[in-house]
Amino acid sequence: MSALARLWDSDIAYSFRTSPVAIVAAAVSVVMILAAVLAPWIAPYNPFDPGSLNLMDGFTPPGQPNAFTGNTYVLGTDNQGRDILSTILYGARISLFVGFSAVLFAMVLGIGLGLLAGWRGGWVDSLLMRIADVQLSFPSILIALLIFGVARGFIPAGMREQVAIWVLIVAIGLSDWVQYARVVRGATMVEKGKEYVQAARVIGVHPARIVLRHILPNVMGPVLVIATIGLALAIIAEATLSFLGVGVPPTQPSLGTLIRIGQQYLFSGEWWILLFPSIALLVLALSVNLLGDWLRDALNPRLR
Amino acid sequence: MAFQTKSPAWTRGTRSALLAGAALALTLSAADANTLRWARVADALTLDPHSQNEGPTSTLLHHIYETLVSRATDGSLQPRLATEWSIHPDDDTVWVFKLREGVTFHDGSAFTAEDVVFSVNRVTAESSGFKALHAAVESAEAVDDHTVHIKMTGPSPLYVQNMTNFFIMDKDWAEANGVELPQNFAAGEENYAVRNANGTGPYTLVSRDPEVRTVLQHFEGHWAEAPEVTEIIYTPISEAATRVAALLSGEVDVVQDVPVQDIARLEQTEGITVTAGPENRNIFFSYDMTSERLASANVDDNPFAKPEVREAMALALDRDAIQQVVMRGQSQPSAAPLPPFVNGWTEEMNAYGAPDYDRAAELIREAGYPDGFSVDLNCPNDRYLNDEAICQALVGMLSRIGMNVNLVSQTRSLHFPLIENWETDFYLLGWGVPTFDSAYVFNFLVHTREGSYGSYNGARYSNPELDEKIEALATMTDLEARDALIAEIWDKVMEDRVFLNVHNQMLAYAMRDGINLEVHPENQPNMTTVTFSD
Amino acid sequence: MLAYIIRRLLQSVLVMLVVALVSFSLFRFVGDPINSMVGQETSIADRDALRTQLGLNDPFLVQFAGFIGRAVQGDFGISYRLQQPVMELILSRLPATLELALISGIVAFVLGVGFGVYTALRRRGWLSNAIMTVSLIGVSLPTFLIGVLLIWVFAVELQWLPSFGRGDVVWVGGWPTGLLTASGRASLVLPAITLGLYQMTLIMRLVRAEMLEVLRADYIKFARARGLSNRAVNFGHALKNTMVPVITITGLQLGSIIAFAIITETVFQWPGVGALFINSVRFVDVPVMAAYLMLIALIFVVINLIVDLLYYVVDPRLRVDRANARH
């Protein structure tokens, strides 16, 4: 039975069916991800189109008509007259895009380097693991900040804002590849020593094939767990970077940027600008984290 | 060195919260009436009075050191260490200062003309942060103990306007401590004057922990009437929310930099008073109107070079909406690219009409952009009040007339070099006018960039005829003719729409009830002016 | 043993050099320090003169070599912003950060281990689930927001705790501590919670996972079969075996505590190196940024060295492993 099939066998399905937390978390995650992906179709307004905004709509309280324009918004508007509900949907889209891309980037890089280190061993392994050590102890926020700084230098002035989001993805991703690499390296070293792999090598099976067919499926479980938690972490990291003044342009805010803007209104009475995006972020990150938690337990064969 | 305040604010807060619901009122009445706990966004960078020409630094130093003349809250000049000043009747290149008698430095030594001469030499030194303001000084001479002549390179009728942040140091103290010159960074040694001070000011330095706490105590030997505030505890708090929280929780008495969105709420809060007033600083957009083409635009020519485009942008800018929403009413919308404090400002320049998007869109089409065009807008996000939000609002307004503006907002240390190095097509800038005279605006923003002129002329504006007139302003002694020339220059600048002005900034100080402090137009409040009313 | 230590030391020096090179090459992208250092009246020529004077116009390698040359002698120059020697500045701020990191680390460790053990032993209990879920809130909101919310509730609304600063400090043998004054301890509470929440969640999860693994290990089953009490098994055997990886990870996490201290210190105006660094970045205070990053690198190198050496002493297999690796 291949590892992938094992991943989806009935034990997991059973564990999911019997865990109400997992079901709720999964349902909430799916709904939020769908809402974010479908934002252009389901959001009442397009907050990313500056021409459609009326500044005078700004600071409309939720469900009440604006004093100047008379317009009403379910969750109110922010300081630019953007509908909070629509901005949350579009912002979640940005946050999830950054999160997923960063995780994917970290995963690909981490798995690749982990396999390389585990398979080759020797100085390649030593070098990669030393780099990993450095990075694991060096604050990831600092790493992301520094990468963002470097990228600014290399990217021509006119291009920076368009690529800011990609820089962010690389910055968050690069600060997070080590965990994958460590897990994959460990598993690779274990598998490498096993007889079937030795045998395959002897009969001349291409190493890439061995790695892809036999080793990779074995590490997919832990990798998936790291990736799930990593998704939540990446979304939060994006928000933190936004607080430090690094991130997506304010005309196309992520959830984190919305919170950064919203916290300026904590004492001013416009509580809805902070509250709703924070709830959205909390619910999203919490459900993804809970899902990760459940996955970790479910995938651990000894805990079944 | 242990810092001890008499009774920690929160312990009082805790007790009062437990004892009664009105925690705030109890906390506040318990505070020592003569101590003022003062918070603002940033600390002074140094105590060296000639090193950093920077707002918070000068503000703090005004309490320890003194200037010859000072700026009152209405913008006028007031005597301080100088009692009189005038241009020498026989030589219009010499300024004469009569000094106050009976003034002593904190260490007890007498204040004399020698100290002023020494300070002039120090402030014009190579490593001085203020040397550009004193560039026209040739030499200074002590005529007698209380008279100083400052010789200029030419007639400089407005030089005294440049002296409101020119602090007087004690010559003997400076020489004894080897601080004849301001901090030289390349020398790699710390200047004694960075952390030690000996001024004539109303307060002496008790202790200083940079970016944590600076404690000042009233100087008994000060020449003026004793202020009500006898002790100042100055604490920088960089985060806006934390700063406001510290005032709400009664941990500080005065907050100098109040975010505009919090003003209305603070005014309604029991036990808190807010004073507001105009700042001597205007906020405007400008654009490269000279280059052949723009780096960030999607068209082959330079749209900003066309008067129609500049007019269209002026028609699209809804200043009232920005004032009402982005600034929460805390700004003075104006089309004049200079604050009303400044000599040369007129009511007419201020006037602007309601936005006309249809006409503006038509103008863009007439200018040869039937499909509009796109361009980057550079904006700082940590320098002026709600700077990023102002830019965002403009992006929305311009997109209604066919301009697709891509907002690039970043920290000040990345933003301003773009203007200095001509790397931005379109930008936001705020300009304070410390000399209160239009020439200061012209020199840096309008004159063709050459030598010390035009360093912030990001418009690349160049009009040789105007340049000549601007240069002439510096030495004109007939102030009436000079004012006429200023008006002439402004006419041309306004006609060419070099600047798209948004508003003048307003300042707000929040304090606990019972404290009275007026807003200072240069955001340099002096705590000697504080009165307690309870 | 000696050869191993020397080799590790050389590696550490190399790491420091790489960190220095990387961080140094970044500074030009942070912004232009000159703009922050001079008044708006300063002419372009004068700005350039200052730039030259500071050596910022020199080729990169010349700047870097100069920096390393001076850094080796402990000279990190004068802060562009505060005009004080950088070393002095950093050393004066370090106690505040270390105290905050230490206290929040201890709190996170104690609570993390406690909750971790409890949730592992009562895996399906409702309280366990509640702890697991609530603790996740701590990692599901950005640190800065948690800090601001704590200030709002505990400083503004309840007025129980101060909103900013470190309170009064007392000097104990050259070390300014806030732990000996009431105001100092009160000031520490909110920042320590803000900073420790994330670590606590992490440690709790780790302890729980390790405990669950260990509790199912054969020797635990034997121990139970031998009739040892639950308490003896859970704490005498299971927890003890869990602690080695937990302590290692916690130690290695010091770097991330310091990273999050940047945010926490900014929100609470805590006078530590993190706030100093952020202010330096805003001002492009190159000497302070360089020294701070070197300090972080040094802390990392030292921790890793200690961890490695401890392993070397504790685990004989590692010695064999290392020896083999050399062939």
Hey, are the CB atoms on B46 and C83 less than 8 Å from each other? yes
**In the predicted model, is pLDDT for residue C255 greater than 80?**
no
Q: Which residue of A69, A77, A268 is the best one to mutate when testing the B interface, meaning the one whose CB has the most B CBs within 10 A?
A: A268
**Token output for A295:** 């996955």
B46: closest CA of chain C, how far (Å):
6
| pLDDT in single tens digits along all 534 residues of chain B | 333 333 344 443 333 333 333 333 333 433 455 899 999 998 998 999 998 888 899 999 999 999 999 998 888 899 999 999 999 999 999 999 999 999 999 999 999 999 999 999 999 998 888 888 898 999 999 999 999 999 999 999 889 999 999 999 999 999 999 999 988 776 667 889 999 999 999 999 999 988 899 999 999 999 999 999 999 999 999 999 999 999 999 999 999 989 999 998 899 999 999 999 999 999 999 999 999 999 889 999 999 999 999 999 999 999 999 999 999 999 999 999 999 999 999 999 999 999 999 999 999 999 999 999 999 999 998 889 999 999 999 999 999 999 999 888 888 888 888 898 898 999 999 999 988 999 999 999 999 998 888 889 999 999 999 999 999 998 888 889 999 999 999 999 999 999 999 999 999 999 999 999 999 998 999 999 999 986
Point out the residue among B4, B54, B452 whose CB comes nearest to the CB of C168.
Answer: B4
| Confidence band of A182 (pLDDT split at 50, 70, 90) | confident
Whether the pLDDT of residue C324 is over 70: the answer is no
Local structure of residue B326 (DSSP, 8 states):
I
Q: Tokens 């280190």 — which residue?
A: A117
Residue with tokens 């701590």: C138
Mean pLDDT of C188-209: 88
Query: Partners for A (CB, 8 Å, 3+ pairs)?
Result: B, C
Give the β-pairing of B515-516 and B499-512: unpaired
Q: What percent of chain C has pLDDT over 70?
A: 92
Q: What is the pLDDT of residues A89-140, one digit of tens each?
A: 999 999 999 999 999 999 999 999 988 888 888 888 888 887 887 776 666 6
Closest Cα of chain B to A81: distance in Å? 9
Which is it for strands B203-209 and B373-380: parallel, antiparallel or unpaired? unpaired
pLDDT of residue B342: 93
Give the per-residue pLDDT at B307: 95
Return the closest-CA partner of residue A116 out of A209, A181, A206: A181
User: Concatenated DSSP letters for C95-125?
Assistant: HHHHHHHHHHHHHHHHHHHHHHHHHHHTTT-
Within 8 A of A286 by CB-CB distance, chain C residues are 133, 136-137, 140
CA B393 to chain centre: 24
Amino acid B167 reads F
Cα A288 to Cα B324: distance, rounded to the nearest angstrom = 41
> Which phi and psi (to 5°) does residue B239 adopt?
-80, 130
Regarding predicted confidence, which is higher, C258 or A184?
A: A184
Q: What is the mean pLDDT of residues C85-108?
A: 90
Inform me whether the pLDDT recorded for C28 exceeds 70.
Answer: no
pLDDT of residue B408: 87
Size of interface A-B (CB pairs under 8 A): 88
- Exposure on the CB side of residue B217, measured as CA atoms within 13 A: 7
Lowest mean pLDDT among B252-261, C174-183, C231-240: C231-240
Mean pLDDT on A231-239? 89
> How far apart are alpha carbons C121 and A84 in whole angstroms?
44
pLDDT number for residue B387: 93
Q: How far is CA B141 from CA A225, B125, B149, C77, C158, in A?
A: 78, 16, 5, 37, 61
Nearest-angstrom CA–CA distance, A233 and A288: 10
Task: Note whether A164 and B414 are within 8 A (CB).
Answer: no
Residue A174 has pLDDT above 90, yes or no: no
CB contact under 8 A, C29 and A281: no
C162–B24 CB contact, under 8 Å = no
d(CA C246, CA A279): 32
pTM above 0.80, yes or no: yes
pLDDT of C310 higher than 80:
no
Residue A160 has pLDDT above 70, yes or no: no
Neighbours of chain B (3+ CB pairs under 8 A): A, C
ipTM: 0.84
